[in-house]
Structures are given as C-alpha cells and as structure tokens.
Amino acid sequence: MTNKKRNCSSEIGGQAVLEGVMMKKKDDYAVAIRKSDGEIELDVDFYKGILADKLIKKIPFFRGIFNFIDSMILGTRLINYSATFYVDEEMEATKFDKVLEKIFGAKAEKVLMGFTTVFAIMLAIGIFILLPFYMSNWFRSFINNASLVLIIEGILRISIFLIYVSAISLMKDIKRLYAYHGAEHKCINCIEKGRPLNVPNAMSSSRLHRRCGTSFIFFVIFVSIIIFFFIQVDNIWLRAGLRVALIPLIAGISYEIVRWAGRSDNILVKILSAPGMLIQRMTTKEPDEGMVLVAIKAVEAIFDWKAYLKENFEYDVDEFWLEDEI
C-alpha cells in the first residue's frame, strides 16, 4: 500500500449514543445500535441543520457557531432515540408529556427536544462559565490583581471540567458510552491512516482523535481564558454578561482550531492538540470487538471508505470481508 497522504481527513464526524454509534458525513448520518437481543439496528437519515444551505454556514468562525448548535440538536435527538430501545415500552406517559401533546400536538416531541437542548446548553454555561467566574470573584476581596484573578478563574474552569469528566466516568452506563466513543474514533482513525476498515484493523487503531468533541470543549475553555483575559470591566454583572455573550465567538474560534488540527500534522498542531488528546483518555475507553462492529456498520452506511482509500492512498481493495457478527 502506498501512503499518498500522511494525514488525510475523511470529514466524517461521529458521536457515541446508548449502546451505539452515530456517524455523519455532511448532511447524511447513520446511527447503529446494539439491541438487547444482540441484533444491530441501523437507521440512516439526513440532517441539514437550522440554517440548511445558507452561505453563512460556510463562512469561517460563523460556521463553528452553527455547527455547534446543530451538533447539540442532533446529538440530543439521537441520545433520546437510542434510549427508546432500553426503556420500558409499557411505561405510561407522564402528566408533562400529556400537557405537551395537548398544546403542541404532533410537534410535542420536537418541542421537548428543543427544551432539552436549550436546558443542556444553559446548564453547561452555568457550570463551566458562570460558576468558575463567581468562585474566582471571591478572591478579589484579598487579591488586588485582576490578571491574577482571571488566571485563577481559568484554573477553576479547567478543574471543574476535569472533575466533571472524571466523576461521570465512574457510572457504569457512561463507561459503556465512552467505550463506544472509543469505537467511533478507532474506525475513523483506521480509515484516515489508509487501512481497510474491518474489526482487526479498527481494534489496533488509536481511540484518540484530534477532531473529537472533547478537544473542542477543551479549546472552548482555553480560548475563553485568553479572550476574557483581554476583556476586563469593573461591573460584576457586566463581566458575567460578557462571558455569556462571547460564547458564540469562542465556539467559532475553537471550531476553526479543531478543524485545522484535524487536517494538519505539524509540530504546532501536535502541541495545541496534546491537552485535548490527554483528556480524551478519560472520555474514551477501549471498546470490545462487538462495539467496533457497530461503529463499522454506521460508517459503511454513509461513507464509501474503499473509494476514499483508492483516491487518497492509491490503495485498491480488491477483496474485503468483515468478520461474522459478534
């Protein structure tokens, strides 16, 4: 096999869901879920996003804002979808469900997902942006140095994020989710290293990837520290408001960094990506072969990896087999 390119992005994105993996290529996505009977359920669909094909979604920095929102919306939808395979089918609708159905009718489910997404974003802002801000503000009573307080705020923000990731990783269901996260990365890495996509090749690939959402979140925290350092005002409410108002800008910058990191292999990229890759060791776990097979099913539903290898690595896959389902 001839490696035509050392680092060639497939532009595939993904996400772990409950007992499964979602893979996305442009507007098309596929979610594969291992059901309780051992069979793999595969659903293929498309998601154009909140602004569809608007030009603004292609403009650097702006595209990161809308891609982040779209990933939250689609991610919430698919987590809820995967959960339906493991909830008690005989559970009665709650009073809240009945009220939503009465008010919104057939759109009740979409409205509920919208509320869930907004709540998740607000919760993340509260925990990772405002909480460390108000905690660091306590230091202003005896530290008469605004820059030092901002550094403390940044340290607190990173610490809270690491504590949160470590704490939820102790949960059994989250451990399995992290393993499927690892399976997602292994499949993408396998393809992008120019190797045929099968279970053995994927299992031997890395579970860490530079374009991971974990790295994106780290860059959001890192970029926010830098931006807040240069934007200082005296009024506490204005300072808090600016931290919320600047989130779209921070998300846009972070997206471009992660996008660049996924396409480049120079030393600066490796240095910038190192902390995010280190954190990924907590948010990904080594999957078993069955989990990798689920991820492969999702990849193959939306991506012709054989054509990709031929185009980018001059590798023609004449014969290919996939091990029997595990």
Q: What is the pLDDT of residue 8?
A: 75
**Nearest alpha carbon to residue 248 among 226, 224, 230, 272:** 224
Instruction: Determine whether 261 is exposed, middle or buried from the number of CB atoms within 10 Å of its CB (0-12, 13-18, 19+).
Output: buried
Model confidence pLDDT, tens digit, residues 163-199: 998 898 888 889 999 999 999 999 999 999 999 999 9
The residue length of the chain stands at 326
Range 71-77 average pLDDT: 87
pTM: 0.85
Long-range contacts of 40-46 (CB under 8 A, 24+ apart): 40/293, 40/294, 40/297, 40/325, 41/85, 42/297, 42/298, 42/301, 43/81, 44/301, 44/302
Model confidence pLDDT, tens digit, residues 91-128: 455 565 566 566 666 666 667 667 777 888 888 889 98
* Identity of the amino acid at 286: E
Q: How far apart are CA 74 and CA 117, in angstroms?
A: 9
Give the helix ranges, DSSP H, for the chain. Answer: 62-83, 95-104, 108-125, 131-137, 146-168, 172-192, 199-203, 213-230, 236-245, 247-263, 267-283, 289-302, 305-313
Q: What is the pLDDT of residue 25?
A: 92
Encoded tokens for 123: 């919760």
* pLDDT, averaged across the chain: 84
CB 255 within 8 A of CB 63: yes
